[in-house]
Amino acid sequence: MQVTTSTTTVAVAGASGYAGGELLRLLLGHPHVEIGAVTAAGNAGTPLGAHQPHLVPLADRVLAPTDAETLAGHDVVFLALPHGASAEIAATLSDETLVIDCGADFRLDDADEWASFYGGDHAGTWPYGLPELPGQRAKLQNATRIAVPGCFPTASTLALLPAVSAGLVTDDITVVAATGTSGAGRGLKAHLLGSEVMGQLSSYGVGGVHRHTPEIEQNLRATGAAAPRVSFTPVLAPTARGILATCTAPIADGVTAADVRTAYEKAYASEPFVHLLPEGTWPQTQATIGANAVHVQATVDDRVGRLVAISAEDNLAKGTAGGAIQSMNIALGLPEQAGLTTVGLAP
């Protein structure tokens, strides 16, 4: 689907939500695209500026309905829709159109795992938009359908990938990931009210039931793990953006911290959006806000025989919209870094 960059038109479905807003924020700074339709469900008919006051150049755009007619005719369509809504609208779009789904519908390979974690029928599997996985860039080139990874899987996978792919750890993995509230979306739920969130640390999806669990395991299998078992627990923290994933895994016999360092340096030496921190320095989410960046560090806890690997990302940026655009760039044959930055906004 190689296109001439001057004519790439993109539509964003779900433009009044957080993922949709972040897609538009980044696309406004992308040198090779033109923003076409911006659509919504309940908010259709209202100006985008009423929902996304930070997107000043698009303030007067009126949200169109999310339907086949509106989305037709674009080179790229981003879907930032509630769970389960992508398949139907995607089916209406031309095979020539690059459709990038920020939802979960097309992420999992295994229909049984889908049924177990999401329930209902499996919509299918699209090329998975995590270019840092082994061999994945080739699968994304010229793709016309892409499933954007979940925010936790991106952070967790990139924290563990070098250790797993080098065979430095075994499969009893734990991930505890603190996340900002924007990952839960803009729906009105009592536990997401500012008064409930500020000054608060809380757990949810505990006990192996969070839907991102099989996706993390799928990624680790793609990285070389034979039968990874991931104990995954998310923690809700009082910030709008940011994920900090703390991952541990049993270290293989004889593996040292130096071996780990070498593996991480090698794995990420030429990855444009993964930043291995200097030794002794640990990730901070602030450094990644607004950037298409994952910051990573790892060490070995010799006393207990575990690798500890930690990553930080902006869940809306590299964790969703930035990752989506990175995959778009690859699919369209654009420079992978077009419209993306590794520079975060801090403090």
What residues from 129 to 188 belong to the interface with a second copy (CB under 8 A)? Answer: 172, 174, 176, 178, 180-182, 186, 188
Q: Whose Cβ is closer to a second copy: residue 59's or residue 91's? A: 59
Beta carbons within 8 Å of 206's beta carbon, 6+ residues apart: 233
Shortest gap between Cβ of 1 and a second copy (angstroms)?
28
By CB under 8 A, which span of 83-91, 140-148, 160-168, 244-252 interacts with a second copy?
244-252
Query: Residue 128 has which token pair?
Result: 């998975």
| Three state DSSP letters for 75-117 | CEEEECCCCCCHHHHHHCCCCCCEEEECCCCCCCCCHHHHHHH
Shortest gap between Cβ of 292 and a second copy (angstroms)?
11
Please check whether residue 154 is in contact with residue 318, taking contact to mean a CB–CB distance below 8 angstroms. yes
Please check whether residue 62 is in contact with residue 25, taking contact to mean a CB–CB distance below 8 angstroms. no
Q: Cα–Cα distance between 288 and 5 in angstroms, integer?
A: 28
Residue 252 class from Cβ within 10 Å (0-12 exposed, 13-18 middle, 19+ buried)?
middle
Q: Whose Cβ is closer to a second copy: residue 114's or residue 126's? A: 114
Convert residues 69-108 into a mask of x (bound to a second copy by CB under 8 A) and - (unbound): ----------------------------------------
Q: Whose Cβ is closer to a second copy: residue 110's or residue 196's? A: 196
Shortest gap between Cβ of 230 and a second copy (angstroms)?
7
Q: Whose Cβ is closer to a second copy: residue 136's or residue 342's? A: 342
Q: Cα–Cα distance between 286 and 295 in angstroms, integer?
A: 11
In the region spanning residues 280 to 339, those forming contacts with a second copy, defined by CB under 8 A, are 281-291, 293, 295, 297, 299-306, 308, 310, 312
Shortest gap between Cβ of 202 and a second copy (angstroms)?
4
Q: Whose Cβ is closer to a second copy: residue 3's or residue 240's? A: 240
Q: With binding defined as CB under 8 A, does residue 226 bind a second copy?
A: no
Partnered with residue 99 across adjacent β-strands are 77, 145
Q: Of these, 79, 244, 263, 332, which contacts a second copy (CB under 8 A)?
A: 244
Question: At residue 330, what are phi and psi to the nearest 5 degrees?
Answer: -65, -45
Q: Cα–Cα distance between 162 and 229 in angstroms, integer?
A: 17
Q: How many CB atoms lie within 10 A of CB 159?
A: 32
Q: Whose Cβ is closer to a second copy: residue 211's or residue 306's? A: 306
307-325 residues labelled b (16+ CB within 10 A) or e (exposed): bbbbbbbbbbbbbbbbbbb
In the region spanning residues 17 to 76, those forming contacts with a second copy, defined by CB under 8 A, are 18, 21, 25, 28-29, 47, 49-50, 52-57, 59
Using DSSP's 3-state secondary structure scheme, residue 132 falls into: coil
Task: Tell me, by CB under 8 A, how many residues bind a second copy.
Answer: 94
Could you tell me whether strands 172-179 and 294-301 are parallel, antiparallel, or unpaired per DSSP bridges?
unpaired
Shortest gap between Cβ of 188 and a second copy (angstroms)?
4
In the region spanning residues 255 to 284, those forming contacts with a second copy, defined by CB under 8 A, are 275, 277-278, 281-284
Shortest gap between Cβ of 145 and a second copy (angstroms)?
29
Q: With binding defined as CB under 8 A, does residue 200 bind a second copy?
A: yes
So which residues are the catalytic ones?
A: 151
Q: Of these, 199, 253, 254, 270, which contacts a second copy (CB under 8 A)?
A: 199
Beta carbons within 8 Å of 196's beta carbon, 6+ residues apart: 190
Q: Cα–Cα distance between 307 and 320 in angstroms, integer?
A: 27
| Distance between first and last Cα of the chain | 40
Q: Whose Cβ is closer to a second copy: residue 146's or residue 168's? A: 168
Q: With binding defined as CB under 8 A, does residue 190 bind a second copy?
A: yes
